[in-house]
Structure 1
């Protein structure tokens, strides 16, 4: 067999960590992900450093905090010269194969004004070789597949509306227009499996990105009603939306912006009854099970083709999902459910660590440095993350992080957001930083808004203790820690270099 060193990097869109391990895990069947975890190393305190989709993937693939790459919204350009996993893997001789999407907004300085790349935030990141275009708002190959298979729809978004099997008015959890064998998840998996056999004689790097269980929440049979809504738990929440809004001024615009109706097509007046919320949660879990089934096909292909034991497999999600928790939907918030994501890594030759669980904090910016480290490629100083390879040997790196740092921009320079309307903030100060350690979560705002502080040994995220007299020393300490974190992690692209009489000299920031 060819002595290849392959990398398969899988990102599942909007999968909560607790679906794989945690509160929701007992309600959803994910046999392939859990079997893979038994054969790999799982990281149970892994967090996205920024939301939503475009920014989170910008951070994952560049290894940078959002405060450095500044592609902070879906539609905010990423600088064209930012090193990323694709540009750096090319330096090691890998062709970066993209099956799916990176949600990258292109730098307008690098394109003519009328270039289609400047008309959508969903174009591929520089350096990737797009094998299958699979984007939520475009997906032309999948649309063509559906048309060629005889499916009828007037406009693309009609594809995401549930269809009654009897021809009557559709219910929330009626099946999708398409059969399971023709779903977006099946189509992308088939594309990967149909393409990769010819690459087995060389070292390859493939980035496989699944849209599901990202909304719109519609699933093909049998995944649409795989889980009985009445058997699912209600979301974690205070007694009312008004109680949630009273916790902090940030939450009223959030609850107004994203509601249950925005997560499904064809039900614009959907009421957020307990029954409807449970039904939407059941569809979400069904979509997660569908992704699990197809990831199982991918893993089985690697085993059957003899490539499983020479392939580094990194499996994660770009961010989480509130799913009705705290009367909220989506990921534009401050709570763990929106940032806490699953991470499972299997590296060849590390079988002694199979099934191990890492409890140290890790961040989404650590994934690209880990992959580069494994292939032997130098990690650029622009990357803020650190390699996780020592954990795969059962070792904790020296001076490892004791918290996860995340950011969120909730403003817009073109169209005012609900936060800008309600809070009077601007695009410059409509942002927050979030720091999560063993005991506390601290949230600080750029605008003149009070902080949030959650004590996870007491009331947790259900109680803001920032104003409590007993917590003032903790608040001050954590605020200083957040400031120091930002100061130490400012852009280091050239900061570790010096021009000398002998020319430019650069020191690695993490050595």
Structure 2
């Protein structure tokens, strides 16, 4: 109200003045920033069950060929919020093993989105806190961000209301996680489904929505608002509330669900996705997919309520909204479950940016290659906030304005879940994807022509006519790994050895 009164008084003064003084427009208010990140959302899950996200896409820019920097929660977010590759941030795994906790943390001194914006924006974080830093930024007394993380209040909220947490022992199974020097037994989520009786309000994402709306209502209205809403859906457990549990009926499964393709990497059976996913049939997945999509629909409803509150407070038209996911979900594709691999279903993610009303993109949809690390510099350029140090990501604004094409290559890496162990490296260029899968002294390679084989069922790495293509991509990967300080190394000799080790696959 104070602002309105000042403008009105200024207008009256102008009307009463005889001098030809032109009224000056008030300074443009910095836009609000809302980042909505889903967890484990397949890029191809958007559609029939995501009307609210579809509306964001219709009003924004959709980057259809976006890839995470690592298909694992912690390193993916470390890269997203810093604009750097996991090799550069030091955040390589989920850091669950106590002796290797440091490999799950962004190194001290690396600026991130929270730090860059919280000096001017009223910064809030809600939901899953998997952006881990060496200096424990989320617990620091110096942080200017309000952290309403899931792990800080959810269990107390359930206890106060006498409700149980979704999931539990029946939705987990012991898995022999193989690390670089030993193996440990660790419980891990399975695709078991069930109905969560306490209902949406006590479900993970019901609580995350509650705290996100609380942040909007408690924000400092004298500052622009920053919200990082980190939803858990559609990450397992797949014990979800009604009406979402029963909402989706029959689903047309992708062709590669329940199928282990010819010449698929056998090393995946050492890794969580292959070990857990290989036991389920296509018929099993036909029963699991509707529950997963029901959870996607739950996420979409939460997004819709968040957008409605932005509109109710008159903030929507001056808000830049980023919608994405930290990584995808195999959900039976290639007979695999979870993420942690380089197939499209795991490494490719949705990315939508809805700009404020006064900004007109020249491109509404693009199939150019984009990496998650490009979002941070994009936001900084749009908000006119200087980067505190160089980043590997590049702003998407020139692409949005139709000035130049996107990047030529995208690089993705995986270094292990709880600790270092299973390694995978990937490069995508000119419609081809090369994957190098390494476990201890074994190494396997896969080459896919994504335009002709989008479900990656035909590994071309063994075909003589693709030798030059493999070596060229291997050279790009080697160059990138050297530039980013990778702990691994590659050379053309690795391809020769791979062909010799797996010569029976060439028949």
**Contact 2:123–2:226 under 8 Å retained in 1:** yes
Pick aligned residue for 1:218 from 235, 239, 242? 239
Q: CA RMSD in A?
A: 3.1
Return the alpha-carbon distance in structure 1 between the equivalents of residues 433 and 154 of structure 2: 41
Match of 1:454 in 2: 448
> 1:66-465, aligned counterparts within 5 Å?
66-75=86-95, 76=103, 77-91=105-119, 93-107=120-134, 127=143, 129-134=145-150, 139-151=151-163, 153=164, 157-158=167-168, 173-199=193-219, 200-228=221-249, 231-237=250-256, 241=260, 246-254=263-271, 258-259=275-276, 272-349=280-357, 352-353=360-361, 356-396=364-404, 400-410=406-416, 427=420, 430-445=422-437, 449-459=443-453, 461-465=456-460
Q: Tell me the alpha carbon deviations over residues 321-358 of structure 1, each in whole angstroms, 9 at most, x when there is no partner.
A: 10110000111112011011111101114564488101
Match of 2:8 in 1: none
Q: Based on CA coordinates, which of the two structures has the bigger radius of gyration?
A: 2
Aligned length: 430
**Contact 1:80–1:126 under 8 Å retained in 2:** no
SS at match of 1:360: strand
Rate the CA distance shift 1:123–1:288 in 2: closer, same or farther, 3 A. Answer: farther
Q: Tell me the alpha carbon deviations over residues 38-90 of structure 1, each in whole angstroms, 9 at most, x when there is no partner.
A: 11111101110112100100000111111211211001232122211112113
* Bigger mean CA offset, 301-310 vs 82-91: 82-91
Return the alpha-carbon distance in structure 1 between the equivalents of residues 472 and 274 of structure 2: 33
Say if 2:45 is the partner of 1:19: yes
Pick aligned residue for 1:6 from 27, 32, 36? 32
Which ranges of structure 2 fall in alignment gaps of 5 or more residues?
A: 4-28, 96-102, 173-190, 487-507
Q: TM-score of the superposition, structure 2-length normalised? A: 0.77
Rate the CA distance shift 1:128–1:287 in 2: closer, same or farther, 3 A. Answer: farther
Give 1:156 shift: 7.5
SS at match of 1:288: helix
Rate the CA distance shift 1:411–1:94 in 2: closer, same or farther, 3 A. Answer: closer
**Contact 1:105–1:123 under 8 Å retained in 2:** no
Give 1:143 shift: 2.4
**Contact 2:166–2:240 under 8 Å retained in 1:** no
Which ranges of structure 1 fall in alignment gaps of 5 or more residues?
A: 112-116, 163-170, 262-270, 414-426, 492-511
Rate the CA distance shift 1:227–1:383 in 2: closer, same or farther, 3 A. Answer: same
Match of 1:500 in 2: none
Give 1:238 shift: 7.8
Return the alpha-carbon distance in structure 2 between the equivalents of residues 97 and 53 of structure 1: 20
Task: Flag the structure with higher strand content.
Answer: 2
**Contact 1:347–1:392 under 8 Å retained in 2:** no
Return the alpha-carbon distance in structure 1 between the equivalents of residues 347 and 403 of structure 2: 25
Give 1:124 shift: 9.2
Give 1:125 shift: 13
Q: TM-score of the superposition, structure 1-length normalised? A: 0.76
Rate the CA distance shift 1:65–1:299 in 2: closer, same or farther, 3 A. Answer: same
